[in-house]
Amino acid sequence: MKKVLLLLLAASVVAGCKKTSDNAQSTSTPTAHSLEKQSPKVKLRHNGQVIQVSTNALNAHLAHGDQIVVQSGDMAQNINDVTADPTKWFFYNDETDAIDNSLGSFVSGPGTAPYGSGSAQISVSGTQRRNLATYQFSGLPLADITVLAFSTYNPSAGNGGAANRSGYLNFNVDFDGSDTWQKRLVFTPPSGAIAQNTWQEWDCIDGGNAVWRYSGGNFPGASVSSMTWSTLLTTYPGIRIRVTDSWLGIRVGAPYANGYTENIDGFKLNTRTYDFDN
């Protein structure tokens, strides 16, 4: 059932993409008014200020270092919102495979956030598995990813237990181009490097040396359950983020036990940096 749901969700996302594209191609000669309506805005942090620019101007702004701002009102509320705009983010419950924005919040700080004045926050207990997630990187070959990073803050207040838990990155992977469900690739910050009450940025490539784990145990055709980024690229030349179920998320929760709170900011993939903010 879980796989069917995921596939249905993914199919609707893809169908939505195609529909949007077809509509754009069939549009007759646009008037100034229709052009304005067709030009969606994206929210950026530009020289410290939040501005709204046309998506047509996005790449130019990203090239000079602006970040894309995501606040609570920008989140997809359901899969229809994702279909309408696949670049949306949302909180996602990995126990029920559902978008649920009650699972997280946007808060001030803590401390000096990497971007803007705040961050996304997720608190879990027991074996809960919650994510800050998106479907927007559909089919992206890992070989085309040159920047992949995110920042976390693990507050000691209320966390108790072990101090070496962190949010971690995971996404649906396609090793062989078949676009079937092949579980997830997982990057977990090295436990010995995790510190509490401070922001830390995790480089998920690290010059090819970042260590990734496979959620299915040993990697397909291999006898190891972890590989460096560079070994992944040489072992599976076509490896990519899955196309039809392109889920990618920063997870807080199991297999770390006992629950904890994590703050997330500054997700980076190539030219895009996301500023999750209050």
- CB of 189 vs Ca ion, minimal distance in Å: 19
By CB under 5 A, what part of segment 104-163 binds Ca ion?
113, 115-116
> Is residue 182 within 8 Å of 7, Cβ to Cβ?
no
Measured from the CB atom, the residue of 66 and 265 that comes closer to Ca ion is: 265
Measured from the CB atom, the residue of 116 and 155 that comes closer to Ca ion is: 116
Burial of 2 (0-12, 13-18, 19+ CB in 10 A): exposed
> Is residue 110 within 8 Å of 263, Cβ to Cβ?
yes
By CB under 5 A, what part of segment 54-113 binds Ca ion?
113
**27, two tokens:** 């549009």
Strand, helix or coil at 100? coil
By CB under 5 A, what part of segment 237-266 binds Ca ion?
265
Sign of CA dihedral 141, 143, 147, 151: positive
- CB of 122 vs Ca ion, minimal distance in Å: 14
By CB under 5 A, what part of segment 164-223 binds Ca ion?
none
Count of residues near Ca ion by CB under 5 A: 6
Nearest alpha-carbon partner for 149 in 265, 277, 276: 265
Stretch (H or E) spanning 233: helix 229-235
- CB of 51 vs Ca ion, minimal distance in Å: 15
Measured from the CB atom, the residue of 94 and 277 that comes closer to Ca ion is: 277
- CB of 36 vs Ca ion, minimal distance in Å: 30
Contacts with Ca ion by CB under 5 A lie at 113, 115-116, 265, 275, 277
